Amino acid sequence: MPDTPAKTQRLSADDAGIARAAELLRAGRQVAFPTETVYGLGADATQDDAVAGIYAAKDRPQFNPLIVHLPDVDAARALVEWPEAAGRVAAAHWPGPISLVLPLRAGARVSKLVTAGLDTLAVRVPAHPVARALLRATGRPVAAPSANRSGRISPTWADHVLHTLDGRIAAVLEGGASEVGLESTILGLAGAPMLLRPGAVSADALAATLGGPVAARAEDAAISAPGQTTSHYAPDASLRLEATAWRPGEARLGFGPVDCDLNLSKAGDLREAAANLFAHLHALDAGGPQTIAVSPIPQTGLGAAINDRLARAAAPR
């Protein structure tokens, strides 16, 4: 599916531009849009392939979980469980530059590529009027990391976005400068309140809102240390990677033209494989095998991200 557009459309943030951007998002394309923190690279969070397209455009080496953007509190509550603390923070700080990590609601229609297979989901109601208009017009939850190539700085202007993503995404909606310029505060509320990433809404402000302390934890320590699998999805089965021949009793996760139980991509398409990865692992694991064997995945392009996730899922625990 390499349908990368030759040129990225610049859309002005008027009714027509916003309608076009919403149409592209619903069609599964990737569209950058302004928020008050940084420009986000959006995709329909319900479509695996659309979300995989974010990783492909960014050349992101790891599947970090993504923040889902919503037009209002009710839309957020449809996707996550909503403890009283969430209500307080939302009342005080939404719309605005803070994301909340909450338990994913059973049956919520969100791609597993958004949560990286976790049972929690980060949600945010941004304040930028263009973002809000776009989210209302799209009518879908929109997953959006910062709209830059991996390893580059976050964009606060449409021109920044085009600097690293021109030709790699369908469009950018031009909405002037992002006021905050720093990614949102991330507050974990799946258990005791925990600051997962500092941002414009400070820990002190949150403590005041919640009427109690907010523990601090470095974002990177929490979710990206290799082998620290507790906060990452890992199957109950053990994984055997780089399997070039199957052994008796294994569940067989293939890639390319191989005989197997489920195939990440028969055609050997890495984007399709990324889109299928978490769903296929879950499906095979549900059968209760002792081992899931996985075909070798090339280390090129999105393959690096797929192998990173597989290595984490296979890490001893």
* Segment near ligand TXA (CB under 6 A); pick from 144-152, 259-267, 281-289, 294-302: 144-152
The minimum distance between CB 183 and ligand TXA, in angstroms, equals: 3
Q: With respect to ligand TXA, which residue has the nearer C-beta, 44 or 269?
A: 44
The minimum distance between CB 38 and ligand TXA, in angstroms, equals: 5
Q: Please give the residues from 129 up to 148 whose contact with Mg ion meets the rule CB under 5 A.
A: 146
x/- track of binding to Mg ion for residues 146-165 (CB under 5 A): x-------------------
Q: According to the binding rule CB under 6 A, does residue 142 interact with ligand TXA? A: no
Q: With respect to ligand TXA, which residue has the nearer C-beta, 181 or 268?
A: 181
Q: With respect to ligand TXA, which residue has the nearer C-beta, 114 or 293?
A: 114
Q: According to the binding rule CB under 6 A, does residue 64 interact with ligand TXA? A: yes
Task: Map the chain to HEC letters.
Answer: CCCCCCCCEEEECCHHHHHHHHHHHHCCCCEEECCCCCCEEEEECCCHHHHHHHHHHHCCCCCCCCEEECCCHHHHHCCECCCHHHHHHHHHHCCCCEEEEEEECCCCCCCHHHHCCCCEEEEECCCCHHHHHHHHHHCCCEECCECCCCCCCCCCCHHHHHHHHCCCCCEEEECCCCCCCCCCEEEECCCCCEEEECCCCCHHHHHHHHCCCCEECCHHHHHCCCCCHHHCCCCCCEEECCCCCCCCCCEEEECCCCCCCEECCCCCCHHHHHHHHHHHHHHHHHCCCCEEEECCCCCCCCHHHHHHHHHHHHCCC
Residues at the interface with Mg ion (CB under 5 A): 146
Residues at the interface with ligand TXA (CB under 6 A): 35, 37-38, 40, 64-67, 99, 101, 115, 118, 120-122, 124, 144-146, 183-184, 186, 196-197, 219, 223
